[in-house]
Amino acid sequence: MKSDYLNKMKLPADLMAALKACPNIYFPKTKQELYELCFGTSGGSVQIVGYTIPGEGYIQEAEVVRCKNGASVNFTDEYMRRRAPNCMYIGDDLPTDKPRFKESWGMEFGDLRAATMNWLSSQNLVMMPAGIGGKAHTYSCLVVCPANAAFFAYALSNIQDFISIDDIKDGYEPRSIIYVAPPFRHTHFGGKQAVVHCRGSKLHEVFSYNLYPGPSAKKGVFAILLDIGESEGWITNHASAALLQTPYENEFVFMHEGASGGGKSEMLEQIHRESDNRVLVAKDNVTGESFHLNLGDTCDIFPIADDMVMAHKDLQNDSGKLVIADAENGWFLRVDGDKYYGNIPLYERISIHPEEPLEFFNIDGTPGATCLIWEHTIESNGKPCSNPRVIIPRDMIDNIIPGDEPLEVDVRSFGVRMPPSTKDAPDYGIMGFVQIVPPALAWLWRLISPRGFKNPSIADNSGGSGLSAEGVGSYWPFSTGQKVTQANMLLHQIVNTPNTLNILIPNQHIGAYKVGFMAEWITREYLARRSCTLMEKHLVEARCPLFGYSLDEMRIDGQHIRLNFLRPELQVRLGDDGYDACAKILTDFFKKELQQFLVPELDPLGRQIIELCMNDAPLSEYLKLTPINSIKSSHGKGRQNK
């Protein structure tokens, strides 16, 4: 049986030799078969995953528990419960700005590759074909992992697309392969997470030397798609997206990008309300004074994507808008915010009564009991793990747009975590409730992708407000190539879709006021009700050119958003001087980060845009290069002088 399946495949010679030599290979024909393998071959309820390490003895890596609603995976080493930053290494000789394996570890990757294949040849293995990239445009992938770590393959089968071994054709040649070899974390990497990428024109290989799926089954696949897109001329964007249907049944698509903590998950949430059904817009950080709105019906939300958005070149049309689809078939959801029953009703209901077994990470699991997503694993410090996860196949999510249905993006927003800022304590938190920017500025913000204030995913050791760059498109941590290549591709994507409106949205603070994610939710409602078109009379140039235009009026359900939320310089505790001091912090940061892109390979238009920023050019200069198409001329005056 093993040889029958292997004879259908065209694989690297060293892998084929290892597979033929290994004791046994499990080829799951169904996801249920793969799920059962997560608990071993004896039908038990608990699988202990561990390996004998030369010189160290047996090391337990994880415990996999069969719960009523799926598999609960908990890693023994608390370090393995979250994705380690900077664990990507490049094992090939193609151009890259990422650390090369040899330079980082002082050895040739070819030697480690040979050792990896030798180890795999001694193991019972699971082999699973998969489709990656979503339903709209799928690429082939093959997973090779030890059988006692079948939970890793099951994770990928839920995040992407499981393919039965019986469905592969003769001559099957995967576009990517993921190898899993956990012992090498201990023998070669000092216990640290390491994922090595080897790129080729026809095959992208990922060597995962650890079992947490974040850097490999999740972000490793992101890297594969970015690499394929780089060779074919398209991008997988780091974004969420949703179709909004107004109370009048008009439909508009919003796509939201930003560094981690920038509001991607929140774009898919309904607006949060107080117990009396009012909406808390903002709260004064000093006086505690609150500002509310009374909103009636709000838009219905139809999710499109949670984290990875495919903008494949074959999906694009002549609308002048970006066309997208989900790049995943399941969502790797972090549920650290779910601390009690009823906090996230949708995901709680799905996870308690799923249509098929789910997979949970860093969540308490008891054999035969229901795994509850608010019962996070307690760590050695006595606190719940900060990275509890559940993988939910997208087909289980209510009102979701089918994965094979491409949609045109009407509004492309970028979220940034902003700190409290006043003239007495200046910082960069001066973005207004919504800022309307031309494509040129939309590109600049994505080149840097500021992580911002108190980022929940990144440890801030700066001692300050945490202003740092996540890099091109906020997907740079997962890219294997060169920054300038991705910068050029992102520029082309943005300027070639001029009919998609670009906006910036702050979260956490606007000047001296705490707003949480309310600016995102209210702006979404405001634009959807106005067909995603803005009246010229309500636009005023922001004091800081990086912010494009501010609004001088925002009215929703007959109520006005306070003008000092739209234009923070009007706040008493900020003023023009305080605003300008804050703007200098942000502008200086942009100039420092943009310098690295001024290389000969940069697109000439990109160079012009960056030089405008370096020379403190006004908004009008950016508009000359890339105008805004979604502005409607009108008669009458706005409120800017009131």
**Over the range 132-162, which residues count as b (16 or more CB within 10 Å of their CB) and which as e?**
bbbbbbbbbbbbbbbbbbbbbbbbbbbbbbb
Where do the domains of the chain lie, and which CATH numbers do they carry?
2-70+84-232 (3.40.449.10), 274-296+412-632 (3.90.228), 330-396 (no CATH)
Alpha helices in 233-323 (DSSP H): none
Predicted local confidence at residue 464, as pLDDT: 44
What stretches of 43-99 adopt beta strand conformation (E)?
46-53, 57-67, 70-75, 88-90
What integer is the mean pLDDT of 452-472?
A: 64
Q: Please name which of 494, 501, 487 lies closest in space to residue 631, comparing C-alpha atoms.
A: 501
C-alpha to C-alpha distances, 346 to 264, 305, 442, 513, nearest whole angstrom: 17, 16, 33, 30
Q: What is the pTM of this model?
A: 0.95
Give the C-alpha separation, 104 to 91, whole Å: 10
pLDDT for 2 beyond 90: no
Predicted local confidence at residue 42, as pLDDT: 87
Cβ contact 91:198 at 8 Å = yes
Per-residue pLDDT tens over the stretch 175-199 = 999 999 999 999 999 999 999 999 9
Cβ-based neighbour number of residue 316 at 10 Å? 18
Cβ contact 359:71 at 8 Å = yes
Q: How many residues does the chain have?
A: 642
Q: What percent of the chain has a predicted confidence (pLDDT) above 90?
A: 89
Please name every residue paired with 59 in a beta bridge, in sequence order, or none if there are none: 51
Predicted local confidence at residue 462, as pLDDT: 44
Q: Please name which of 303, 304, 294, 301 lies closest in space to residue 247, comparing C-alpha atoms.
A: 301
pLDDT for 639 beyond 90: no
Average of per-residue pLDDT values in the chain: 94
Predicted local confidence at residue 338, as pLDDT: 85
Q: Please name which of 276, 258, 265 lies closest in space to residue 332, comparing C-alpha atoms.
A: 265
Q: Please name which of 8, 359, 39, 323 lies closest in space to residue 163, comparing C-alpha atoms.
A: 8
Confidence of residue 638 (pLDDT cuts 50, 70, 90): very low
Count of alpha carbons within 13 angstroms of residue 452, beta-carbon side: 29
Helix (H) or strand (E) segment spanning residue 105:
helix 101-105
pLDDT for 461 beyond 60: no
Per-residue pLDDT tens over the stretch 14-65 = 999 999 999 999 999 999 999 999 999 888 999 999 999 999 999 999 999 9
Q: Please name which of 439, 401, 452, 412 lies closest in space to residue 585, comparing C-alpha atoms.
A: 452
Predicted local confidence at residue 452, as pLDDT: 74
pLDDT for 276 beyond 80: yes
Predicted local confidence at residue 465, as pLDDT: 55
End-to-end Cα separation, the chain, in angstroms = 80
Q: Looking at per-residue confidence, does 12 or 636 come out higher?
A: 12
pLDDT for 85 beyond 90: no
Predicted local confidence at residue 454, as pLDDT: 67
Q: What percent of the chain has a predicted confidence (pLDDT) above 70?
A: 96
Per-residue pLDDT tens over the stretch 538-586 = 999 999 999 999 999 999 999 999 999 999 999 999 999 999 999 999 9
Predicted local confidence at residue 151, as pLDDT: 98
What integer is the mean pLDDT of 609-620?
A: 98
| Amino acid identity, position 167 | D
Confidence of residue 467 (pLDDT cuts 50, 70, 90): confident
**Three-state DSSP class for residue 3:** helix
Predicted local confidence at residue 634, as pLDDT: 66
Per-residue pLDDT tens over the stretch 324-368 = 999 999 999 999 888 888 888 889 999 999 999 999 999 999 999
Cβ contact 432:547 at 8 Å = yes
Concatenate the DSSP letters of all residues of 335-401 into one string.
-TT--STTSSHHHHHHHHS-SS-EEEESB---TTSPP-TT-BPB-TTSSB-S--EEEEEGGGSTTPP
Per-residue pLDDT tens over the stretch 360-401 = 999 999 999 999 999 999 999 999 999 999 999 999 999 999
What integer is the mean pLDDT of 449-474?
A: 69
pLDDT for 604 beyond 80: yes
Per-residue pLDDT tens over the stretch 489-532 = 999 999 999 999 999 999 999 999 999 999 999 999 999 999 99
Count of alpha carbons within 13 angstroms of residue 383, beta-carbon side: 6
> Quick one: CA dihedral 107, 110, 111, 115, positive or negative?
positive
Helix (H) or strand (E) segment spanning residue 154:
helix 150-159
Predicted local confidence at residue 635, as pLDDT: 56
C-alpha to C-alpha distances, 532 to 229, 311, 411, 621, nearest whole angstrom: 29, 21, 7, 24
